[in-house]
Structure 1
Amino acid sequence: MTSTYDVAVIGAGFAGVTAARDLTLAGHSVIHLEARDRIGGRTFVGEAFGRQVEFGGTYAHWSQAHVWHELRRYDIGLARRLTIGQCYWLADGTVHTGTPAEYHALTKPLATRCLADAREWFPLPADIHAADTTAIEKETLADRLDAMGLSALERDVLCDVMGSLVASPAEQGMAQFLFWTSLNGGSWETFMEGAGGFPIEGGTKRLLEAINGESTAELRLSVPVVAVEDDGSGVTVTTADGERIRVRQVVLAVPLNTLGDVAVTPPPPAADMIEQKHPMRTSKIWARVKGEVPTFSANAPVGRHPINSARTEYRYDGDTLVVCFCGDASSIDPTDRAAVERALRFFVPDLEVLDVACHDWVSDPYSQGTWVHHRPGHLTKAAPLLRRPHGRIHFASGDFAPVGVGGIDGAIETGARAARDVARALRADS
């Protein structure tokens, strides 16, 4: 049994690398274990079409305090995407088209109406317990849509504007939509700019490697962890190949949907949430389209079309790269160039798709889904339980972040918090 470390950090996404960096900079000895053969977790800069593309989480914004702090720390900026010239949206069985201003004029009143009570439920969104959320935590997005008395056209348009964030309205808690809106001053449009507005210069890999570059932890890749046992005097971490590592504290920084694959002793809180997992089973597909086509965005309600959100993202070598999000990953084969071409031509006729690329996050054993959207009851009732120290075990993930839930910002937020909690515990234990 190895027993030479103060802390084991399990998982090397943004939460894990942040925790490992902060703990080693504080002078603690850290072993850092990652199941994949790379760092990054659900962010992944890979190769496609002869260039690098983001297969996972991508976007950041100056309004996201934790990621913005890290970008400034390493002198990394934000990049720009192509400006959209034309919008297409599927509603009531028909593809409509208009300018971005016309689309905004149509969608804003519906989104405002749907989310009008955001500040009522979350008057101080940095403190989710500032108001009683019991009632809203029983409501799904489908419940809200049903109660609004919308026409078929209006309902589809509202689902369109929520775009890539809608995968399963009957399973997604309404509370998270309202929480995100309240965080952004009551504006869904402002939230969406932060959630999908600006890539990181050089990609997420650049920021990830900058953070990891300051860590002196012993990083081991391709080492899945199967068990973490706190016996009151220390923690034993067991890897898939049977190695047992003894440490004083643990940061368990893995996605919610994989947390149940690690045998944690004593059993962790929020057992129902861990068992049920979150319902986001989205795919992100890149399509290389022939020529520098006019810029566009396209949206369709989940269940009505295989692609629920698409937009021209970059020009490359005389062609155009289009990023597509599919709320139901099973609705289209992301490796089928012809199928993706047909789906895009539904909105924009005559597009020629030359090639496609995708990473399957749903079947990936170390993600089992994409970004989190909590089921009813989990955002304000269950997730906070995983933000507290569980004896000598500390959880970190953007999936249960207090502010940046579901994104890179939340991953950094929880990694830094876990590191502070661990450092405090180690001092008390000295």
Structure 2
Amino acid sequence: MINMYDVAVVGAGFAGVVAARDLSAEGYSVVLCEARDRIGGRTYTGEAFGRSVEFGGAYAHWTQPHIWRELTRYGMGLSAPMEAERVHWLADGTVHSGTAAEYASLCGPLIARYLHDARARFPQPFDLAAADTGAIEKETLGDRLDALNLSAYDRDVLDGMLASLVHSYSEQGIAQFLLWAATTFGDWGAFLETAGAWPIAGGTKRLLDAIAGESKAELRLSTPVTAIEDDGAGVTVTTREGDRVRARYAVVALPLNTLGDVAITPAVAQPVRTMIEQKHPVKALKLWVRVRGEIAPFAAGAPVGKHPVNAARTEYHHDGDTLVMCFCSDASAIDGDDRAAVQRALRAFVPGIEVVDTACHDWVSDPFSQGAWAHHRPGNLTQAVPLMRESHGRIRFAGGDIAAIGVGGIDGAIETGAQAARGIARALAGDGA
């Protein structure tokens, strides 16, 4: 006999956990299926160097309405970031150094040119249909960079500033950068602060545990799902082990790059199917490095493809040493477990720095992520992604990858999870639940 639930939620990242909590709080029976042996998805508070560190998404901001609501709901806050005293940047084959103010004055005019039309393209960032985005949705990050006709030095400076968010200039669309900038009034520096500066006090796990602790959903860990079928009367979710879960509705909150491993019936619209088949192109690595001694706080950047570490900054002092967080645009460019290789890479910026240990999680080879955060290919952000946010019969999709404003982040994941829950609750009420 197959148990019947009101809702089956597939995927226990922030979107899935929020959807399960909100629906179960309405009194509906909910089962939450998660492939991993933990909740959190591409957020992952783990242990390294004798303390907790964030191996995945980590940052929040008081201007992000959805995550800020969750933080205040559970009495949580943010930790102040460590301010860099020096910045080092690789440009035109040479590493340069200066104060944070000097680096900002160098980058400011370049990024302003690169994203000059952000507000015009997205005058109302919450409504992608408010402006004609047809032209920019054909444009890649590389197309925009080439069109500026910069000197080799200026091009590398701009590239290095963007590199922590870039894997492929030829595959990632400019529209997503413009949308991100538009959410902070066209100010890219403000966007970077909101997206990647302030960690959650106590870590993402603390917030996830608080949300899950309030949920009445039945949680099934280590339960990968291989098929989801809507037959018009309900939804059947089939697990890798062959078990079947029957529900009246389903929320699918899986990373975009894993959806191709799940048979969804009826088939999604062709633009969505194409996006799922192509996958998003971000294959980055977040790498933690413990270096000897409490060194002066610094930040560093390098153009994509010209150095294995494309962004680095000091995050914490810990037990007399310093923890440096690095982003590598191409996860295959460096072995995160090779301390000697990591030390060589960092010494290009800070001569004499001594690497004691490293730690990372490979999201690219992880079968339940198959990549880092989503950055959409040209055309998908304003065409295929909005289709995924619509109801697909008794199935609703959720997740930061398809968020309307906070695309690629925790805030967007929470937004879509809550929105999916509201839609299904209305549908259930209409069914006479």
Q: For the residues of structure 1 that align with 2:407 and 2:303, how far apart are their CA atoms?
A: 23
Partner in structure 1 of residue 84 of structure 2:
84
* CA-CA distance at 1:40 after TM superposition: 0.3
> What secondary structure is seen at the aligned counterpart in 2 of 1:59?
coil
**Which of 419, 424, 427 lines up with 1:422 in the alignment?**
424
**Which of 387, 399, 414 lines up with 1:385 in the alignment?**
387
Q: For the residues of structure 2 that align with 1:308 and 1:155, how far apart are their CA atoms?
A: 14
Matched, 1:39 2:39: yes
Partner in structure 2 of residue 11 of structure 1:
11
Amino acid at match of 1:95: V
Amino acid at match of 1:265: T
* CA-CA distance at 1:120 after TM superposition: 1.2
> What secondary structure is seen at the aligned counterpart in 2 of 1:412?
helix
Question: Cα deviation per residue 1:243-272 (whole Å; 9 max; x = unaligned)?
Answer: 111110000000000011110000123111
* CA-CA distance at 1:397 after TM superposition: 0.6
Matched, 1:348 2:383: no
Q: For the residues of structure 2 that align with 1:244 and 1:365, how far apart are their CA atoms?
A: 21
Q: For the residues of structure 2 that align with 1:169 and 1:191, how far apart are their CA atoms?
A: 20
Aligned positions of 1:132-281 closer than 5 A: 132-269=132-269, 270-281=272-283
Q: For the residues of structure 2 that align with 1:81 and 1:404, how far apart are their CA atoms?
A: 21
Partner in structure 1 of residue 289 of structure 2:
287
Amino acid at match of 2:338: D
Matched, 1:124 2:121: no
Amino acid at match of 2:307: H
Q: For the residues of structure 1 that align with 2:117 and 2:332, how far apart are their CA atoms?
A: 34
Name the stretch that deviates more: 156-165 or 135-144: 156-165
> What secondary structure is seen at the aligned counterpart in 2 of 1:206?
helix
Partner in structure 1 of residue 360 of structure 2:
358
* CA-CA distance at 1:161 after TM superposition: 1.4
Instruction: Give 4+ residue runs of structure 1 displaced > 6 Å after superposition.
Output: none
Amino acid at match of 1:305: H
**Which of 395, 412, 420 lines up with 1:410 in the alignment?**
412
Aligned positions of 1:42-57 closer than 5 A: 42-57=42-57
* CA-CA distance at 1:31 after TM superposition: 0.6
Q: For the residues of structure 1 that align with 2:100 and 2:116, how far apart are their CA atoms?
A: 23
Question: Cα deviation per residue 1:124-163 (whole Å; 9 max; x = unaligned)?
Answer: 1110110111111000010001111111111111111113
Name the stretch that deviates more: 1-10 or 390-399: 1-10
* CA-CA distance at 1:19 after TM superposition: 0.1
Q: For the residues of structure 2 that align with 1:135 and 1:387, how far apart are their CA atoms?
A: 23
Give the TM-score normalised by structure 2: 0.99
Amino acid at match of 2:223: V
* CA-CA distance at 1:166 after TM superposition: 1.3
Question: Cα deviation per residue 1:169-219 (whole Å; 9 max; x = unaligned)?
Answer: 111100001010111101001000011110000000111111111101000
Unpaired runs of 5+ residues, structure 2, are none
Identity of aligned residues (%): 65
Q: For the residues of structure 2 that align with 1:21 and 1:373, how far apart are their CA atoms?
A: 28
Q: For the residues of structure 1 that align with 2:398 and 2:259, how far apart are their CA atoms?
A: 11
* CA-CA distance at 1:311 after TM superposition: 0.3
Amino acid at match of 2:233: S
Unpaired runs of 5+ residues, structure 1, are none
Partner in structure 1 of residue 320 of structure 2:
318
Give the TM-score normalised by structure 1: 0.99
Partner in structure 1 of residue 396 of structure 2:
394
Amino acid at match of 2:164: S
Amino acid at match of 1:347: F
Aligned positions of 1:323-334 closer than 5 A: 323-334=325-336
* CA-CA distance at 1:22 after TM superposition: 0.2
Partner in structure 1 of residue 103 of structure 2:
103
Question: Cα deviation per residue 1:70-124 (whole Å; 9 max; x = unaligned)?
Answer: 1111110000122110000000101000000000000000000111111111111
**Which of 308, 311, 314 lines up with 1:309 in the alignment?**
311
Q: For the residues of structure 1 that align with 2:153 and 2:384, how far apart are their CA atoms?
A: 36
Q: For the residues of structure 1 that align with 2:163 and 2:25, how far apart are their CA atoms?
A: 41
Amino acid at match of 1:99: T
Partner in structure 1 of residue 28 of structure 2:
28
Q: Report the count of equivalent residues.
A: 430
Partner in structure 2 of residue 65 of structure 1:
65
* CA-CA distance at 1:366 after TM superposition: 0.3
Amino acid at match of 1:34: E
Q: For the residues of structure 1 that align with 2:85 and 2:220, how far apart are their CA atoms?
A: 46
* CA-CA distance at 1:322 after TM superposition: 0.2
Q: For the residues of structure 2 that align with 1:124 and 1:76, how far apart are their CA atoms?
A: 30
Amino acid at match of 1:253: A
Matched, 1:336 2:353: no
